[in-house]
Structure 1
Amino acid sequence: MRRFTIEEIVRATAAHRVHHNATLAPMRVVTDTRSLEHGDAFLALRGERFDGHEFVADAFAKGAALAIVDRAVVSMADRPVVEVADTLLAYMALASAARARFDGHVIAITGSSGKTTTKHLLSQLLRARYGNRLHVTSANENNEIGVSKLLLESHDDHDVIVVEMGARKYRDIHALVEIAQPHFGLLTNVGEAHLEIVGSRERLAETKWGLFSTGAAPLLNARDRVSQQRAATLGQLPHWYDAMDEDRDDIVRAPFTALIRDEIVVHRELNGRPRRARTELFLPGHHNRVNAAGAAAAAIELGFRLDELAELMPTLTLPEGRYQRHEIPDFITIVYDAYNANASSMRAAIDAFGNENGARHIAVLSSMAELGDESERLHELVGEHLQPAKIDEVLVGGEYAEALERGALRAGFPRDRVWHFTDNHAAALWLLERTKSGDVVLLKGSRRYHMEEILDEVLTACGI
């Protein structure tokens, strides 16, 4: 983890008040007293439900050498203190200073869906070469605090940093990119996630496109409409990626990385011949094949050989909460994919689920969140995506259950095959009472609806 002298802290944060009369050794900067070690600097972040200033006394009691604050605290009397205008901005400034010390490669990943999965797949590829010299965003810590923490935790032994970036409001990605200064930027797609917060599709596209605001070399999903429309504005050739069921003669873009059936194909030069290597990929769903192609494209940019990637592809697995199978002996198989949801990921999960082997296919769908004025329409589109030939029963719940039902009925579902559930307990009871051995069940919806409760209740009832 990076360490700073008090002079470096004052300079990076543009502190307006400094109080100390002791000689301080270079310090780590931490924001959680639970991970604080003797001699650390404690930076008091604040949020909607917490205020780090309330823990300053605890930090000093645990051996903090310095407090970084943006308001006076009684417990700071006669203690080493740096006072700044805003502690979050100070934390980001220190992260930027940490990034300036890093000499390796930085790869940033964002998108409306698939960014955490793509990060996870890329990390598995890179770990095979770099081992502990790889530094990766933990879980989904992808906001200003998470990105700053990642950079501050880097050290000289790291060769590559993979940073996931999420947007909670308009132009958020620009701010994160300014801190991380990525060499490569991988954009999975621009969909509908966070429309309610960002305000419009154009503002959402502009926010995601901020990934390239400092000149990162672009890696783009060849199927993403926004990327197709905006690619010409980049000033450099993007590295496109895709997954396809068959070779296509109309692919004229290069560089291009594709997974085509049982091959990985890399087309580096427009007039050159593509290179190929046989491989296998054991990930469910076409959307995850596309994510894997994106991970492969990023690895190629870091100099991975084609044969190296072909050997690693069969070892790739999905992160927790993404299309996880839970097989209950002599009963049903549940596919849990409710880490999060937007219209694109809902449709992708439904497509993958429709290809599962099973006696009957039962889709349990909760609503999506943060879609703004388009909520009703997007839920109807998801419902319309359900194919009666592939899905036997549909359970709908959440705020937009009726919109999901309207779409399903429009897709041709008989009304007696669409069911409403009022809460997760009701959905679990329906599954326990009405499913039969050999059935497969999909659980998909926004995290807001805690669909893991359905999974847990069914597994517990079955003694698992």
Structure 2
Amino acid sequence: MLITIIFCTIAVCSALSLAAELRRDLMMMQQNSYRIERYRRWLRSSADTTSWPRLAGMAVALASLAAFASDRVGMTLIGAFAIGNIWYLSTRRYKKPLVMTPRARRIYSVSAIISIAITAVAAVAADGHSWLLPAFAASVALQILYCASHIVIMAAVWLLQPLENRINRGYRDDAARILASCRGLKVVGITGSYGKTSTKHYLKRILDEHFATCMTPGSYNTTMGVVRTIREYLKPYDEVFIVEMGAKQPGDIKEICDLVHPEYGILTAVGEQHLESFGSIENVQRTKFELIDSLPAGGYAAVNNDFPYAADREVTNTHCDRYAVSNTAGAQWTATDIAYSPQGTTFTVNGPDGLSMQLQTRLVGECNISNLLAAIAMAVRLGVPQEKIRFAVADIRQVEHRLSLRRTPGGITIIDDAFNSNPTGSGMALDVLSGMTGGNRIVVTPGMIELGERQEKLNYEFGRKIAACADIAIIVGRYNREAIRSGASDGGMTDDRIIITDTFAQAQSMLSGIMKSGDTVLYENDLPDTFK
């Protein structure tokens, strides 16, 4: 009787282990927009199918099936793994955790049904006269399903696709109806390889001084995210709708534009990000300009001239102003006299027709000033008075994890750029760090991801810049370790100034032992450490 209870308990633990793993797989499927091809690219790039938990699970499954292993030995191995995996997954923290939307619930439910069906078949097929053999067979089946959980999730997404297409069409039609009813609504699209979320927040804060404004919240920058925003957040009295437009493949932005029909657009950057899915910088350029190309003749575009692939692209379909902080030749909007301090930044905005505004902001970093410049250009175009712009810019709060600046009670300055993972933004963050000369300048980073075949080279160059801008480097994780360490070393940083850690928790522990009052710490991207 006791052994039966133990076997059944282990089977339940195996089921819970699989449920937790399917939930994690669903999280990554959600972050890849429920697109199987994107999810498969993530699997290849992340090597998740051969991670150490997955390999350990495979070893347990094979050992349990081996002829020399008794059912009790097999169940012991499976039980130990299941309990360990449940503890491991329950203690992990994610930058973008799973949002259990109705679609996510449907996928999770179908995944559960698939798993239950396979497990039931295994248990019924077990030819025994007690509960022991069926419980063992079910546990082994659950262990094998754990090893193949990616396939289970993809199968659930594929089976549900016709239903999801029908549901999404209904949602899109409803969103289009709502937009058509909003007479006089001004739609502003914002896209770019990076900087779009910050620009969106800055623009909304400025426009709030003069208009009733709605924006896509959080990272609602896909077509269905925009649809949800329209259906749940857009009000009949709103005068401006700011739409952040993200993309991981050509056509993504055009799809959003075909829904919202923007009259105004901001292009913040064209750079090396998501190269694994785009394939080339030229594809990135074409996709980002889908927003600008969709604007009507009487519309308005603000394009960042600091990026060559944005500056070199001609715009003829609508009125286009260029803005720039560095490459100011030919730009109608520029920022000059930029001065940074731990309290923020002062700068001068120069615009068309002799416009000049001296502004102060709590934000730091050239990328933030560039994003502010785009927001100011758009606000002026929409008719916001200069005094309201000046007040809003001074009041703008830093967007969390995007080059945000704070000071601890112990006198340490923290630059939080944890949501940044691109070469340009990372370089700008290091430039800000280099200007903090009150004490040691420390950077904590796992490097940059989703850069395709250029990932190693760009992280090497990132390491060289770290050597030029920082006094101490703490490199987190194994993903980009050698490239960053090699770059920092070649850049002149000595080995005793390069600290290697496997996890962010270890980095924090090392950091607490070396920080002192007057130091500045830059947290630059935490994505690889979070997801690997």
- Pairwise TM-score range, normalised by the shorter structure: 0.7 to 0.9
| Deviation for aligned residue 1:407 | 1.6
Q: 1:47 to 1:87 in 2, by over 3 A?
A: farther
C-alpha distance in 2 between matches for 1:119 and 1:201:
24
**Correspondence 1:149 to 2:228:** yes
Write out aligned runs for 1:447-462 (5 A).
Answer: 447-450=527-530
**Correspondence 1:202 to 2:285:** no
C-alpha distance in 2 between matches for 1:350 and 1:238:
31
Kept after mapping to 2: 8 A contact 1:45/1:53? no
**Correspondence 1:138 to 2:214:** no
Write out aligned runs for 1:258-407 (5 A).
Answer: 258=335, 260-261=337-338, 264-268=348-352, 273-330=353-410, 332-388=412-468, 390-398=469-477, 399-407=479-487
Q: 1:49 to 1:202 in 2, by over 3 A?
A: farther
The Cα offsets for residues 129-186 of structure 1, whole Å up to 9 and x where unpaired, read as 22xx211111111112211112223232111101111113232111111111111110
Q: 1:52 to 1:324 in 2, by over 3 A?
A: farther
Query: Which amino acid in structure 1 is aligned with residue 351 of structure 2?
Result: H
Q: 1:362 to 1:49 in 2, by over 3 A?
A: farther
Q: 1:307 to 1:419 in 2, by over 3 A?
A: same
TM-score, structure 1 normalization: 0.73
**Correspondence 1:110 to 2:188:** no
| Deviation for aligned residue 1:188 | 0.4
C-alpha distance in 1 between matches for 2:490 and 2:407:
32
Within the candidate set 300, 314, 317, 1:235 is matched to 317
The Cα offsets for residues 308-330 of structure 1, whole Å up to 9 and x where unpaired, read as 32333222221122233443333
Residue 10 of structure 1 is matched in structure 2 by: none
C-alpha distance in 2 between matches for 1:157 and 1:291:
27
Residue 7 of structure 1 is matched in structure 2 by: none
SS at match of 2:360: coil
Within the candidate set 265, 268, 273, 1:193 is matched to 273
Query: Which amino acid in structure 1 is aligned with residue 217 of structure 2?
Result: S
C-alpha distance in 1 between matches for 2:337 and 2:305:
14
| Deviation for aligned residue 1:396 | 1.3
TM-score, structure 2 normalization: 0.64
Kept after mapping to 2: 8 A contact 1:93/1:179? no
Identical aligned residues as a percent? 27
C-alpha distance in 1 between matches for 2:269 and 2:424:
9
**Correspondence 1:101 to 2:184:** no
Kept after mapping to 1: 8 A contact 2:473/2:498? yes
Q: 1:89 to 1:204 in 2, by over 3 A?
A: farther
Kept after mapping to 1: 8 A contact 2:213/2:238? yes
Kept after mapping to 1: 8 A contact 2:467/2:489? no
Residue 210 of structure 2 is matched in structure 1 by: 129
Question: Structure 2 unaligned runs (5+)?
Answer: 1-98, 113-157, 339-345
Write out aligned runs for 1:49-60 (5 A).
Answer: 49-50=107-108
| Deviation for aligned residue 1:46 | 5.8
Q: 1:51 to 1:356 in 2, by over 3 A?
A: farther
Q: 1:260 to 1:330 in 2, by over 3 A?
A: closer
**Correspondence 1:225 to 2:308:** yes
C-alpha distance in 1 between matches for 2:322 and 2:408:
40
Q: 1:106 to 1:447 in 2, by over 3 A?
A: same
SS at match of 2:459: helix
The Cα offsets for residues 12-40 of structure 1, whole Å up to 9 and x where unpaired, read as xxxxxxxxxxxxxxxxxxxxx999xxxxx
Kept after mapping to 2: 8 A contact 1:259/1:289? no
Kept after mapping to 2: 8 A contact 1:221/1:240? yes
Residue 502 of structure 2 is matched in structure 1 by: 422
Aligned residues: 374
Q: 1:201 to 1:357 in 2, by over 3 A?
A: same
| Deviation for aligned residue 1:222 | 2.0
SS at match of 2:289: helix
| Deviation for aligned residue 1:447 | 2.7
Residue 57 of structure 2 is matched in structure 1 by: none
Q: 1:111 to 1:85 in 2, by over 3 A?
A: closer
Residue 77 of structure 1 is matched in structure 2 by: none
The Cα offsets for residues 420-442 of structure 1, whole Å up to 9 and x where unpaired, read as 11111211111112222322211
SS at match of 2:466: coil
Query: Which amino acid in structure 2 is aligned with residue 395 of structure 1?
Result: I
C-alpha distance in 1 between matches for 2:312 and 2:189:
21
Question: Structure 1 unaligned runs (5+)?
Answer: 1-32, 36-43, 55-69, 73-82, 452-464
Residue 79 of structure 1 is matched in structure 2 by: none
Q: 1:317 to 1:196 in 2, by over 3 A?
A: same
Query: Which amino acid in structure 1 is aligned with residue 295 of structure 2?
Result: G
| Deviation for aligned residue 1:50 | 4.3
| Deviation for aligned residue 1:48 | 9.4
Residue 119 of structure 1 is matched in structure 2 by: 200
Kept after mapping to 2: 8 A contact 1:177/1:213? no
C-alpha distance in 1 between matches for 2:203 and 2:361:
14
The Cα offsets for residues 65-113 of structure 1, whole Å up to 9 and x where unpaired, read as xxxxx999xxxxxxxxxx8853234323332332222221011111111
| Deviation for aligned residue 1:224 | 1.6
The Cα offsets for residues 360-409 of structure 1, whole Å up to 9 and x where unpaired, read as 11111112221111111111121122244x41111112301111112212
The structure with the greater share of residues assigned to helix is: 2
Cα root mean square deviation, aligned: 3.0
| Deviation for aligned residue 1:444 | 0.9
Kept after mapping to 1: 8 A contact 2:323/2:331? no
SS at match of 2:443: strand
Once the two structures are overlaid, the 10-residue window that deviates more, 303-312 or 157-166, is 303-312
Larger radius of gyration: 2
The Cα offsets for residues 234-290 of structure 1, whole Å up to 9 and x where unpaired, read as 33341122336xxx9x74454x3545545644433xxxx412233222311111111
Residue 90 of structure 2 is matched in structure 1 by: none
Query: Which amino acid in structure 2 is aligned with residue 396 of structure 1?
Result: I
C-alpha distance in 2 between matches for 1:48 and 1:415:
51
